[in-house]
A and B are shown apart, each in its own frame.
Chain A
Amino acid sequence: DTAVSQTPKYLVTQMGNDKSIKCEQNLGHDTMYWYKQDSKKFLKIMFSYNNKELIINETVPNRFSPKSPDKAHLNLHINSLELGDSAVYFCASSPPGGASGELFFGEGSRLTVL
């Protein structure tokens, strides 16, 4: 009965590779997010989708491409991985009203680029 689930939890890959992280929520929320948490635990929003439509796209390299096949899923694809992409990526969702209420987070996907 996991609310927001991400896969994989750990991802180790070489520089230059392409990888994807998947996220699914079973809460019936309309809005989903991707956040990046660096080694100092600083959280920065990357993208936000509302009902499959992109509403926030912060300044991230275009190597990062989110895809939302339906409002319960928001996947993150990363091309040509770089060392600086190493971080923990969190998916989150929020009920109608957007982020004015609480966010529900997944457990995170730790990406290590070698």
Chain B
Amino acid sequence: SQQGEEDPQALSIQEGENATMNCSYKTSINNLQWYRQNSGRGLVHLILIRSNEREKHSGRLRVTLDTSKKSSSLLITASRAADTASYFCATILGSARQLTFGSGTQLTVLP
């Protein structure tokens, strides 16, 4: 089964609104990362939050991590049309050596 499930699968908002995406995982993690993928492009790393951190900020991005609930959320404030992309969470699960990606949330920001 796929570890790292994003919710919702798709989200459509108006420019200026906030967008919240959630990620759940099933086993212990060392850190959790969020990536953005613009249409037809490669993935770009946004932010990494370690398992001993609860919240992290980077510009208009705010990431939270709740290890007791095995979940993370990505908040994009004051969204812009340029934020339209797919957003993925990714984790290294347990003793695995590779980064496992979630199924992604497609965010559409309408001008």
Contact = CB atoms under 8 A, between A and B. Distances in A.
Contacts of A106: 42
The dominant DSSP class at the B interface is: strand
Contact of A99 (B37, B42, B97): B97
B30 interface: yes
A27 interface: no
Interface stretch (B17-25, B43-51, B66-74, B75-83): B43-51
Contact of B42 (A45, A90, A98): A90
Contacts of B45: 102-104
Classify chain A's interface size: 20 to 34
Given A42-B2, A100-B30, A100-B92, A105 B99 contact: no
Given A45-B98, A48-B98, A102 B48 contact: yes
A27 B100 CA distance: 22
Nearest to A40: B103
Interface in B88-110: 88, 90, 92, 97-101, 103-104, 106
Interface of A: 4, 33, 35, 40-43, 45, 48, 55-56, 58, 90, 92, 98-108
